[in-house]
Amino acid sequence: MKLCVVIPFYNHPDAIGSVVNQLLPYDLNIIIVDDGSGAQAKQSLLPLLQPPKVTLATRFLNGGKGAAVITGMREALKEGYTHVLQVDADGQHDLKKIPDLIKLSEQYPKRIISGMPVYDKSVPTSRKLWRYATHILVWIHTLSLEIKDSMCGFRIYPLQETLGVIDAREQFGQRMDFDIEILVRAHWADLHTIQLPVGVRYPLDGISHFQLFNDNFLITKLHIRLFFGMLVNSPKLMLRRALA
């Protein structure tokens, strides 16, 4: 298992330094994917670069979190990595859980290892309620309770298997819908997820790129597509449950 970190980055100049500094003690190479950030945010990345320890992949136009993660995955595969640890750039996740995620990934190298948020009081109640609605829909889409939380951006992905799921489709979620879609479609493809409780707080810099209307509209459309996908996949999913 050869693991690196991928950080999708879009305009978090005040948080990214803290995130990178918290990651350095784990002796993992880091790929920051700049997803078309503004000039000030781009400048904040330059002091952090320490090739080959910390490198930068640049997307010149903003494509969304999913697009940045996929770019990072392809870059990591090209550099010979077998797994990537996705870490959000806003500093909301408890990175002290990294050794636990890695231990699980070493034990189950062909599975996605994902954080399962444990919120503190800084997370808005409305965000938690929207997330819970998505959890219920994901249980319906997968005919399973395996995925307890599908929206946490703190995960280890096996690259070959995950990119296989992504490349099987002409279009894949490019924005906040990515985190949900990849876990559901991976489950359909028999690429399973193991989850670990992880502390979550509101972003260090107070910046959230979740757009209440636009992203919820995208996620609603995603759930409609996934529901019909579940109907197509339901015989396979029910047979899998019967044989388990």
Angle formed by the axes of helices 125-142 and 212-243, nearest 10°: 40
> pLDDT by residue (tens digit) across 134-178?
899 999 999 999 999 998 989 999 999 999 999 998 788 788 889
Q: Is 61 helix (H, G, I), strand (E, B) or coil?
A: coil
Spatial distance between the Cα atoms of 1 and 36, rounded to a whole number of angstroms = 31
Report the alpha-carbon distance of residue 9 to residue 133 in Å, rounded. 27
pLDDT digits (tens, 9 = 90+) for 180-237: 999 999 999 999 999 999 988 766 555 555 544 566 677 888 999 999 999 999 999 9
- The region that residue 190 occupies, defined by phi over 0 for left and psi between -120 and 50 for alpha, beta otherwise, is left
Which domain range does residue 168 map to? 3-243
pLDDT in tens, 25-83: 999 999 999 999 999 999 999 999 999 999 999 999 999 999 999 999 999 999 999 99
What is the domain-level CATH number for residue 220? 3.90.550.10
Instruction: Output phi, psi for 65, to 5 deg.
Output: -60, -45
Cβ–Cβ under 8 Å, residues 78 and 57: no
Q: How many domains does the chain have?
A: 1
